[in-house]
């Protein structure tokens, strides 16, 4: 029977450490040409209300090592707003976000899952993989832009791959950054310090994470410490032209890795596509995380290098491994609601069916 799993069913069921291990498998297989994806695709339609669009998003991928295929879909509203002179993206109101998990052995639907918990943990785990292979081994100080759910799993991931002793967090909302600092200090058992300026986040930080809904640069590359690693999770598109990296950060990045090079061009993603068009960087400088895991690309070779992981898009392989692991854990623990599999199967030879 397929399982129906809501966010509350899944919350906390999967450790970040395990998700990072699984994500390594996904990206290694992708780099080896075994795992496959359909590129992220989005539809925007104006609603007639000022700056408010209807938004549909879909992402699919298969990871043979997990015998899993996942399709993530979202139906929502989106708009740009300005907060303290910074342009940000919002998704107002309720929405539908689902992940459909399939077995590649039987073709059966295994689960229908809310995508929210799945999404925040898989983004964190992907940044964790990037930091594991690109950040300095002795990295201890994290600078965090953002104080929402994505910022929580990002910091959890950094703690899983490095011996973090201090994190500094900036959000334009004082209450949010102070709440985040208190909660994450208690959860991760090291100091998480709220700071009042973006510069304080970056100075002396070994790892800088952009986990904010801002749509324009939030750091100045001149502030970067030698040998820093930057993880930036915003990957806009031709419609939501969200760019968080300034010219100096791009120029100082000795190594630039993305989840998907193809998506940079399909979505004309500001941070890299615009710099390619202006000849600031060359296409050969942009490498894929999967190639790094598969041994086809070289990561950090000395502690002075500045490394950038542009966690530039959601990928179906992320959802495939995360959803399959959560499905297995939930099934073993008796979590979730079973639904009749006959609702989702067209049986051959029983009258009208698809060939």
Is residue 235 predicted with pLDDT exceeding 80? no
Residues 6+ apart with CB under 8 A from 315: 30, 37, 40, 59, 61, 259, 260
Query: Are 139 and 256 within one domain?
Result: yes
| 40 is a domain residue | yes
| 319 is a domain residue | yes
Query: Are 321 and 305 within one domain?
Result: no
- Over pLDDT 70: what percentage of the chain? 94
Best CA proximity match to 12, nearest among 333, 232, 338, 315: 333
| 350 is a domain residue | no
CATH of the domain at 203: 3.40.50.720
What mean pLDDT is reported for the chain? 93
| 349 is a domain residue | no
Query: Are 91 and 176 within one domain?
Result: no
| 351 is a domain residue | no
How far apart, in whole angstroms, are the C-alpha atoms of residue 209 and residue 193? 15
How far apart, in whole angstroms, are the C-alpha atoms of residue 89 and residue 80? 5
CATH of the domain at 336: 3.30.1780.10
Query: Are 257 and 140 within one domain?
Result: yes
Query: Are 287 and 256 within one domain?
Result: yes
Query: Are 10 and 132 within one domain?
Result: no
- The two tokens of residue 219 are 């750091």
CB under 8 Å, gap of 24 or more: what pairs does 74-78 form? 74/98, 74/115, 77/47, 77/52, 77/53, 78/44, 78/52, 78/53, 78/240
Residue pair 38/60 in contact by the 8 Å Cβ criterion: yes
Cα–Cα distance list, 70 to 8, 36, 135, 165, 315 (Å): 20, 11, 30, 36, 10
100-135 pLDDT, tens digit each: 999 999 999 999 999 999 999 999 999 999 999 999
Strand partners, 44: 55
Q: How confident is the model at residue 355 (pLDDT cuts 50, 70, 90)?
A: low
| 53 is a domain residue | yes
Looking at the 3D structure of the chain, how many domains does it have?
Answer: 2
39-57 pLDDT, tens digit each: 999 999 998 888 888 989 9
Query: Are 35 and 69 within one domain?
Result: yes
What pTM does this model have?
0.93
Query: Are 129 and 200 within one domain?
Result: yes
Query: Are 340 and 216 within one domain?
Result: no
Query: Are 41 and 76 within one domain?
Result: yes
| 355 is a domain residue | no
How far apart, in whole angstroms, are the C-alpha atoms of residue 31 and residue 261? 12
Best CA proximity match to 57, nearest among 47, 71, 69, 37: 71
pLDDT for position 83: 54
pLDDT (mean) for 304-326: 97
Query: Are 183 and 284 within one domain?
Result: yes
Range of the domain at 43: 3-119+315-344
Query: Are 248 and 195 within one domain?
Result: yes
Strand partners, 317: none
């Amino acid at each position: 029977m397929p399982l129906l799993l809501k966010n509350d069913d899944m919350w906390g069921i999967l450790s970040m450490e395990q998700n990072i291990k699984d994500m390594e498998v996904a990206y290694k297989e992708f780099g080896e040409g075994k795992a496959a994806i359909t590129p992220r695709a989005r539809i925007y339609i104006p609603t007639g209300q000022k700056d408010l669009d209807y938004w549909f998003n879909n992402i699919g991928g298969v990871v043979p090592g997990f015998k899993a295929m996942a399709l993530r879909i979202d139906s929502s509203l989106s708009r740009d707003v300005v907060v303290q002179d910074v342009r940000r993206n919002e998704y107002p109101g309720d929405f539908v976000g689902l992940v459909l998990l399939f077995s590649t052995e039987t073709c059966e639907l295994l689960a229908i899952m809310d995508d929210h918990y799945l999404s925040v943990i898989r983004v964190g785990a992907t940044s964790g993989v990037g930091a594991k292979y690109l950040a300095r081994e002795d990295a201890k100080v994290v600078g965090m832009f953002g104080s929402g759910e994505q910022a929580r799993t990002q910091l959890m991931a950094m703690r899983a791959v490095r011996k973090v002793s201090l994190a500094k967090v900036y959000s334009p909302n004082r209450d949010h950054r102070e709440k985040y600092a208190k909660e994450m200090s208690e959860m991760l058992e090291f100091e998480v310090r709220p700071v009042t300026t973006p510069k304080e986040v970056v100075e002396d930080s070994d790892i800088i994470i952009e986990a904010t809904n801002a749509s324009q640069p939030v750091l100045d590359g001149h502030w970067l410490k030698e040998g820093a690693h930057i993880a930036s999770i915003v990957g806009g598109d031709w419609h939501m032209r969200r760019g968080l990296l300034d010219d100096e950060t791009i120029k100082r990045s000795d190594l630039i890795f993305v989840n998907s090079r193809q998506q940079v061009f399909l979505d004309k993603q500001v941070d890299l596509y615009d710099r390619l068009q202006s000849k600031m960087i060359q296409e050969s400088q942009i490498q894929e995380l999967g190639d790094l895991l598969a041994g086809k690309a070289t990561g950090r070779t000395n502690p002075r290098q500045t490394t950038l992981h542009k966690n530039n898009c959601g990928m179906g392989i992320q959802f495939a491994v995360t959803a399959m692991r959560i499905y297995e854990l939930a099934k073993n623990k008796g979590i979730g609601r079973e639904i009749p599999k006959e609702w989702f199967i067209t049986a051959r030879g029983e009258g009208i069916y698809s060939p």
